[in-house]
A and B are shown apart, each in its own frame.
Chain A
């Protein structure tokens, strides 16, 4: 089973590196096409070379000449020249007196820090006297703006056009209305056209177009419904005098606010799912040992802790011996953590728990003793303070989904929790061990009579539950402090999840974990994190009293997947 998980993870990791590199290029569209289009674009313009055209700004020239260069640049259709154009508009474009080379410059006292006009990379600093500004006037500025807009609005690549529309939306420049109109008329991609229409609407709001058009624009922005539109509309509603437009803007504001509220809720759900998957990971091993075997393992949290420390050891080893493998440290740690915690579980079952079957309260006390010993052992070996466990690249950072912010590590933990859950379900339902486990749970004597070695099954079941706790520890090491107390923080929550979901039912554990996570996150804004947790605990206590067997009480059968 670990093998299947590992392969799944390898697959996921491959997918993920693709996604990560794509996001590094800031491309919201499919990474392959974007890269290809860019390559094609630079090949097409290499004849004239946009960099070469930019150099034409150098030397003394008339406004008309400058404007001609601008038009030439716009015609190149290469997005890369936008930097130079913007610098020109802002009066930051310089040429060096010595060789007429063109740079973007920033004044620093008596010197000018210069940057490459195409890449924006620093090229040192030169005294002010050596540089000359490219002269501009208003008509030049307008020309630049138009050029900037049309430059990218006409790009071959829809992703580039999309980006242009996005930029224009934020800039909300009335000057661009005309070129936007042309671009919209020519646009064939509906998504891009919609984005352009939004950009047009944002520009319309600040233009001197008639109020009726502005009211229309407000509607378009309402449909877009993000925080940026909201602030644009709020500014507009505050400044306009026209009752119709004002009314339209206010309606739009209300619509956007409810949209934002909706996405806030979605964000809460997301946080809840994230917390729920953490709870699920922590509790799922317990669902086996407690739910299936009925063994109260108070040292379950320490199994999680051992998994987390295994990750730490693996990363330390990689850091000192094979730094290149760091990205794979979690994948390496997973099977090792499973083995480490599973072995500890096996030893516990053989030497302690099997003498206590049928005496749940004694089991509780004895395993609590083991948890104290394990904690202290880890404290003695690794020290009492938190240990640093690094996040591989694919686990760091975040991206936006509409109005929601999504952390990569949270996303991966949700995915991972689901994978573990499904894998465990498969083990229970599709493997011989799972079959024997279920047989022993349902009727120990009969199972023994059928030739199943029940002590062996007990030991394996307990080792499996513990091993899964270890795997959970690998994941939790990514979001929590790795300290000897790591396990203690999860044990009560885990029991709550299992008891709430219904003992002996994996699906119950899933639903229990997710609903507790979500309820917790929804309570937090009102009650605060600590109080929210208390409320949840109290709710569970009340719930258990209402339904002592949990949400999905086991009814004779084991888990029906």
Chain B
């Protein structure tokens, strides 16, 4: 199968596993009786859904960081913007069921004595519009921000710092009540989505399945991008930006493309995240959140498709476990993880496995070459992108 060779078997296994989860987890939750050993309790479904959204966010970051060399410390901002767009739709769906019973205005606006919806809230009662905004707002912000940043060749650490400043500025802005996004409390108390109660098990299972499908599609999308000539160009930009420029490419365009696509993916992740956790508040913009995403990708292995997904799942599962057992300990663990992964495991889990595998193959190839055998079997090209942790 051409596609299988195109992305490599590992990616297809990942996609298959994700899609299987999309079917099996809802089934195990809804159809299996509660006393069945494989039953998935209802409280776990949104938790798993949250992990899947995080995995999607990590994958989005990997596209820019792992493949294009842009360490964005502001991806949490795109995630939160997507979440807010979805949250606005969910707020409008509450209708007159709010505490104040105002059919038009969300509760916090009534509380602030606002008379009418701000102009930027119009349209969010329509799902299609909100869905569009989920992609458009983060995408547009990334496009404008990236346009200025990449055009003036802000690179490396400087770029990281200004992306962090960007999300910090948004954090401050969304904390303000008069921004019209619920200030400190954010948007919450959602009732239903597309007419289904957001609390219902079936809705939650569907949201989980939707998240899985979004993740699977994103893995394929990122796979397609990174295996294309453009993907090779991204890696080229990452490794030798000036070389690409001197052979006539415009690295800023390549980066802008990756950054914008990645921001849209992050926005979708945020939009799927919000109905599952039931709240979106300015805390999502906190710079710490964005940096945490980096460690997910780093743990799994940046510059690979599978790595960030595994990293996000592992780290967040660890977080759930640890915050239950030893709440104060989690930050020690997370901090230690940052240190460990940069110092000991710079390629991440998947990258390290790959590297070992490559080394084995290299020795085998060398042996073959000694025997005089043509190593042309390699000429079809290594299907996997090569992780290069050295910056």
Contact = CB atoms under 8 A, between A and B. Distances in A.
A376 interface: yes
B160 interface: yes
B157 A360 contact: yes
A352 B336 CA distance: 11
A541 B339 contact: no
Contacts, number: 122
Interface stretch (A101-109, A170-178, A450-458, A542-550): A542-550
A492 B157 contact: no
B332 A376 contact: yes
10 contacts: A359-B390, A361-B71, A361-B160, A365-B341, A369-B338, A372-B332, A373-B331, A492-B164, A541-B162, A544-B152
A537 B165 contact: yes
Interface stretch (B103-111, B189-197, B290-298, B355-363): B290-298
Interface in A367-415: 368-377, 379-380
B168 interface: yes
Interface string B302-339: 00000000000000000000000000100110111111
Given A369-B336, A369-B337, A499-B158, 12 more contacts: A360-B157, A360-B391, A364-B160, A368-B338, A369-B335, A370-B339, A533-B169, A534-B169, A541-B165, A544-B154, A545-B162, A548-B154
B149 interface: yes
B152 A495 contact: no
B173 A534 contact: yes
A349 to B, nearest CB: 13
Nearest to B157: A360
B172 A372 contact: no
B10 interface: no
A362 interface: yes
Contact of A372 (B168, B173, B335): B335
A530 interface: yes
A355 B343 contact: yes
Nearest to A299: B335
A548 B153 contact: yes
Given A544-B158, A545-B154, A492 B335 contact: no
The 10 closest A-B pairs by CB, nearest first: A369-B338, A372-B335, A373-B335, A376-B331, A545-B152, A369-B335, A537-B169, A366-B342, A362-B342, A369-B339
A225 to B, nearest CB: 37
B154 A492 contact: no
Contacts of B295: 365, 369
Contacts of A548: 152-154, 158
B148 interface: yes
A352 B343 contact: yes
B176 A530 contact: yes
Contacts of A380: 328
A281 B89 CA distance: 45
Given A541-B165, A545-B148, A545-B151, A362 B391 contact: yes
A379 B328 contact: yes
A492 B287 contact: yes
A3 B342 CA distance: 38
A330 interface: no
Given A359-B391, A372-B338, A538-B169, A365 B291 contact: yes
A499 B157 CA distance: 11
B292 to A, nearest CB: 9
Contacts of B332: 372-373, 376-377
A305 to B, nearest CB: 14
B334 to A, nearest CB: 6
A61 B343 CA distance: 96
Contacts of A364: 71, 157, 160
Could you say which of A296, A365, A496 has the most chain B C-beta atoms within 10 Å of its C-beta?
Answer: A365
Nearest to A537: B169
B33 interface: no
Interface of B: 71, 148-149, 151-154, 156-158, 160-162, 164-166, 168-169, 172-173, 175-176, 287-288, 291, 294-295, 298, 328, 331-332, 334-339, 341-343, 346, 390-391
Q: Is the interface of A mostly helix, strand, loop or mixed?
A: helix
Nearest to B344: A355
Interface in A144-161: none
Contacts of A362: 342, 346, 391
Contacts of B162: 540-541, 544-545
Nearest to A536: B169
Given A369-B337, A369-B339, A544-B158, A530 B153 contact: no
B154 A496 contact: no
A372 B334 contact: yes
A376 B333 CA distance: 10
A533 B172 contact: yes
A380 B335 CA distance: 15
A531 interface: yes
A356 B342 contact: yes
B165 A546 contact: no
Given A365-B294, A369-B335, A499 B153 contact: no
A394 to B, nearest CB: 34
Contacts of A538: 169
Contacts of B334: 369, 372
Nearest to A384: B328
Nearest to B71: A361
B176 A546 contact: no
Contacts of A544: 152, 154, 158, 162
Given A360-B391, A531-B176, A545-B154, A366 B328 contact: no
Contact of A530 (B157, B175, B391): B175
A360 B156 contact: yes
A534 B172 contact: yes
Nearest to B150: A545
A365 B169 contact: no
Contacts of A361: 71, 156-157, 160, 391
A540 B149 CA distance: 12
Nearest to B175: A530
Interface string A494-510: 01100100000000000
A69 B331 CA distance: 79
Contacts of B341: 365
A412 B390 CA distance: 46
Contact of A366 (B164, B176, B339, B390): B339
Contacts of A534: 169, 172-173
B343 A366 contact: yes
A356 B156 contact: no
Given A361-B391, A369-B334, A372-B331, A540 B342 contact: no
A365 B341 CA distance: 9
A365 B172 contact: no
Interface string A116-146: 0000000000000000000000000000000
A254 B6 CA distance: 79
B299 to A, nearest CB: 11
Nearest to B162: A541
B144 to A, nearest CB: 11
A376 B328 contact: yes
Contacts of A369: 295, 334-339, 342
B376 to A, nearest CB: 36
A473 B155 CA distance: 31
A538 B172 CA distance: 12
Nearest to A373: B335
Nearest to A359: B391
A291 B152 CA distance: 21
Contacts of B337: 369
Contacts of B166: 537, 541
Nearest to B331: A376
Given A365-B291, A365-B295, A368-B291, A492 B165 contact: yes
Nearest to B170: A534
Contacts of B158: 499, 544, 548
A377 B328 CA distance: 9
A495 B164 CA distance: 10
Contacts of B331: 372-373, 375-376, 379
A174 B95 CA distance: 70
